Amino acid sequence: MNPLVTEHNCVQIRFSLCLLIIAFLSGAFLLTDIAYVHAKPKSSALNKTEYTYRQAKSEYDRLARNSRLRTHRTAWIRVIKKFRTVYLTYPNDIEVAPKALFMMARCHSELYGYSGTIKDIQEAIERYKVLIERFPESYLADDALYDLGNLYNRIGNINLARKAWERIVEEYPERDKARFAKKKLKILGPVEQQKIKTPKLIRYNEEEPSSISSPRINPDTKPAIVREVRHWSAADYTRVVIDTAGPVSFTKGYLPANKAKYLPERIYLDLKPAFIGKNFKNDISIRDGLLRGVRIAQFNRSTVRVVFDLRNTHKTKIFYLEDPFRVVVDAFGENYFQRPSCPPLSPLIHKKSKDQLKDDGLSLAQQLGLCVKRVVIDAGHGGKDPGAIGPTGLREKDVVLTIAKKVALRLKKDLNCQVILTRDDDQFLPLMQRTAIANAEKADLFLSIHANAAPSRGVSGVETYFLNFALDKEAMSVAARENATSNKRIGDLKHILNDIMKNTKVDESSRLAGCVQRELVRNLRRQYDKVKSKGVKQAPFFVLIGARMPSVLVEVSFISNKKEEKRLKSDHYLSSVADGIVNGIKSYISDTKFAYLP
C-alpha cells in the first residue's frame, strides 16, 4: 500500500471527523439556544410577587439548615418579617399571600420549640386563622387547619383542636390532610356528654389566647395612672375603653359565678404597672343586657384589676391603641352575628340582564339583592377638633358634615336603606366612639369622610383609604394627621396593629374603596377640570380599627389647595362629591350581587 495514499486518507478522515464534531457542537449550541429562547419567557414569567416570596423562602431554608442560627430568636424574627412584608405588599394575591401566611405561622411555631414563649404559639395560631378565613380555597387551607389543630392540642385546648380537624373532614374531605385529621379525631374519641352541658359563659375559658394582644412593657417603666373608663352600648354590642396615662400590659382571666356572694360570671383584666388616680369612679353601672357593670380596684401595688360583670355576652374582643394609650374591650351578644339574610331573587330574575331587572317593579335594593341595609356615615372631626383649615379659613369639620348629610339623603332616596350619621351637628366624637357606633348599629358599610391637607399648597386630588399598614410616607402622613398624632408615633404603631392582620374585611374594604374612588373621580371630572385621582391607598386609621364591616376613609379634596378650597365652598361641588360617593356604594353593591349571577 502506498504510504502517501494512506496518509492522505487519514487526513481526510481527520478532516471529516472535525466537520462532524463541529456540526454536532453547532447543533448542540443551536438546541441550547432554542431551549434558552423557549425557557426565557417561562423565567420572565416568574413575576415580582413570586420572586419576592422565593427570596423570603430561601432565607427560611438557610435558617432551617443552620443548627446554630436556629437557636437565635433574632434570626427567626428577621425571616418572619420578610414573609410579613410579602403578605402586606401583596395581601390579595391568591397564590403568594396564603404561602406567606403559612410560612409566618410555621416560623412562629418552630420558634416556639426553641423559645418556649406562649406568645410565639399564639402568633402562629393567628397566622393560620387568617389564612383559613381569607383563603379557604387555597391548597394550603387544609394544611393550615391541620397545623392549627396541632397547636391547640399542644396548649391543651382540645375543643378547638377537635373543631379544626373536624372542619378538614367536613370541608376538605378529598384532600390529603383529611385522612390524618380522621386519625387525630379517632385518638381524641367521642365528645363527652358533660362537655355539652357546660354553662354558656364558660366559653371564656376556650377563647383563643391570641384574642388579647398586650404590649411589651419594660420592667423599669413607671406605673401609669388609670384615668377613665368609658362605654357605649346597644342591644347586642358594648364597647368599653380604659384610658391610661401611659402604656400598660394586660392579661385576661375568667371568674365563675359565686352564688354565695351574689356574684355573676366575670372576666377581668389585670393592668400593670398601673395605679388608680384620685377621685376615680370605681364602680360603673352599664346594665345593657350584655354587661352588668365594670368594677376597678387596686389589686396590688403595681396592678389594677378591671372586672367585667357578665350578663349575656357571647364573645369579647380585646385590643389596645396608643397615643393616647387605651385598652378597648368589645362585647357581643349571641344574636350580634346573626345578620338577616338578603331575600333571594327568583330564578327568572337570575336569567335577566341588569337593564331588564329595572323593569320588574322591584325597588333598586331588591334588584341588586341588597345586602347593604344599613350604612353608617362618619363626618370627620367636629366640635373642638376643626380638622384641617384652608387658606381662607374654611374648616374641614364643616365641609365634611355637609357632604355626609347629602350622602345620607341620596342613599335613603336611591337605595331605600337606613343611614346613620355618627354626628349630625358640630360635636366632638372620639375616634373610638365612631367605630363603636358602626358596630353597635350592625352597619353593613362604614364610610368616614374627610378633606385632605398637605404642607405644599400645590397638592390636589382625591384619594380613598382602607385599613392596613401604610406602604408609603404620604399615606403615613395622612394617617398621622387624621389620627391627630405625630408621624413618628404612627411609625411605632406597626407592632400594635397586628389586629389589622386578622381583619377578614380587608378584601371587601379594598374593593369598596376602589368603587368609591372610581365613581367619585368620574363624577367630578364630568363637571370640573383637572380633577386628579390619587388612587386607592392603605393606612392605619384609628377610626377604622375594630370596624366589623367593610369600611373606608374618603379624602374628598385638598382643603389646603386654594383652587380646591374654593370648590369646597360651592354647594354644587359638595353635591357632586356626595353623588360620586353614593355612586361608588351602588357600584360596590352591584358588583357584589352580579358576581354571583350565572
Average pLDDT rounded to a whole number, residues 1-11: 48
Omega before 324 within 30 of 0, i.e. cis: yes
Q: Report the range of poorest mean pLDDT among 152-161, 393-402, 447-456, 559-568.
A: 152-161
Residues 6+ positions from 330 with CB-CB distance below 8 Å: 237, 238, 239, 316, 317, 318, 439, 546
Cell reading at 243: 384610658
Q: What is the pLDDT of residues 151-164, one digit of tens each?
A: 888 877 888 889 89
pLDDT tens by residue, 539-592: 777 778 778 888 999 999 999 999 999 999 999 999 999 999 999 999 888 776
Q: Is the pLDDT of residue 309 over 80?
A: yes
**Calpha distance 436→373 (Å, rounded):** 18
- The pLDDT score that the predictor gives to residue 354 is 38
Supply the pLDDT for residue 106: 93
pLDDT at position 296 over 80? yes
C-alpha 298/C-alpha 200 separation (Å) is: 30
Q: Is the pLDDT of residue 17 over 70?
A: no
pLDDT band at 448 (very low <50, low <70, confident <90, very high): very high
Model confidence at 27: pLDDT above 60: no
Residue 496 above 80 pLDDT? no
* Bridge partner list, 395: 389
Q: What is the DSSP string of 357-411?
A: HTTSS--HHHHTT----EEEEEE--BTTB---B-TT--BHHHHHHHHHHHHHHHH
pLDDT-above-70 percentage for the chain: 74
pLDDT higher than 80, residue 404: yes
CA distance 179 to 37: 44
pLDDT tens-digit series, residues 322-366: 767 889 898 888 777 665 545 443 333 233 333 433 544 443 433
Which residues, in sequence order, are CB contacts of 429 under 8 Å at separation 6+? 382, 383, 422, 423
Name the strand (E) or helix (H) holding 317. Answer: strand 315-321
Provide the pLDDT for residue 349.
Answer: 29
CA distances from 178 to 150, 174, 182, 184, 308 (A): 14, 7, 6, 10, 41
Average pLDDT over residues 18-38: 43
Q: How far is CA 420 from CA 239, 333, 378, 579, 590, in A?
A: 18, 21, 8, 17, 21
User: What number is the average pLDDT over the span 287-307?
Assistant: 87
Q: What single DSSP character describes residue 494?
A: G
Domain 48-206 has CATH 3.30.70.1250: no
Query: How confident is the model at residue 562, as a pLDDT?
Result: 95
pLDDT score at 459: 92
Asked if residue 550 has a cis previous peptide bond (ω within 30° of 0), the answer is: no
pLDDT digits (tens, 9 = 90+) for 105-163: 999 988 887 777 777 888 889 889 888 878 888 999 999 999 999 988 887 788 888 98
b vs e for 216-240, b when ≥16 Cβ sit within 10 Å of the residue's Cβ?
ebeeeeebbbbeebebbbbebbbbb
Secondary element (H or E) of residue 34: helix 3-44
Inform me whether the pLDDT recorded for 595 exceeds 70.
no
3-state helix, strand, coil in the chain (%, to 5): 50, 20, 30
For residues 418 and 465, the answer to whether their CB atoms sit within 8 Å is: no
Helices (H) and strands (E) in the chain, counts: 20, 16
User: What is the per-residue pLDDT for 440?
Assistant: 86
* Residue, of 68 and 488, whose pLDDT is higher: 68
Contact 311, 292 (CB under 8 A): yes
State the average pLDDT over residues 193-208.
Answer: 35
End-to-end CA distance of the chain: 89
Contact (CB, 8 A) for 142 and 168: yes
Residue 83's pLDDT band (boundaries 50, 70, 90)? very high
In this prediction, residue 25 carries a pLDDT of 45
- The continuous run of DSSP H or E covering 268 comes out as strand 266-272
Separation CA 475–CA 482 (nearest Å): 11
pLDDT > 90: what percent of the chain?
A: 34
Q: What is the DSSP string of 174-241?
A: TSHHHHHHHHHHHHH-SPPHHHHT--GGGGGGGS-GGGB-PPP--TTPPPEEEEEEEEEE-SSEEEEE
Q: Reply yes or no on whether the pLDDT at 219 is more than 80.
A: no
pLDDT tens, position by position, 30-44: 333 333 333 333 344
Cell reading at 593: 350581587
Residues 72-92, mean pLDDT to the nearest whole number:
88
Q: What average pLDDT does the segment 49-62 reach?
A: 90
Residue 46: count of CB within 10 angstroms of its CB? 10
Q: Are 540 and 490 in contact (CB under 8 A)?
A: yes
3-state secondary structure of 502: coil
Edge-to-edge strand list for the sheet holding 462-467:
418-421, 374-379, 445-452, 551-558, 462-467, 533-539
Nine-digit cell string for 320: 389596645
Per-residue pLDDT, 436: 86
The pLDDT value recorded for residue 221 is 82
- Asked if 547 contacts 467 with a C-beta cutoff of 8 angstroms, the reply is yes
Backbone angles phi, psi at 494, to 5 degrees: -60, -35
For residue 378, give the nearest of 535, 549, 538 by alpha carbon. Answer: 549
The CATH class of 372-490+503-520+531-594 is alpha beta
Phi and psi at 186, nearest 5°, equal -65, -40
- The three-point CA angle 248-540-494 to 5° equals 50
In the CATH hierarchy, which top-level class contains the domain 211-332?
mainly beta
pLDDT the model gives residue 46: 54
pLDDT band at 469 (very low <50, low <70, confident <90, very high): low
Please check the confidence at residue 4 and state whether its pLDDT lies above 50. Answer: no
Beta partners for residue 266, in sequence order? 255, 309
pLDDT band, very low/low/confident/very high, at 486 (cuts 50, 70, 90): very low
Give the three cell numbers for residue 19: 466537520
- Among 120, 124, 114, which Cα is nearest to 66's? 114
For residues 373-395, give the mean pLDDT. Answer: 93
Residue 250's H or E segment, with its range, is strand 249-255
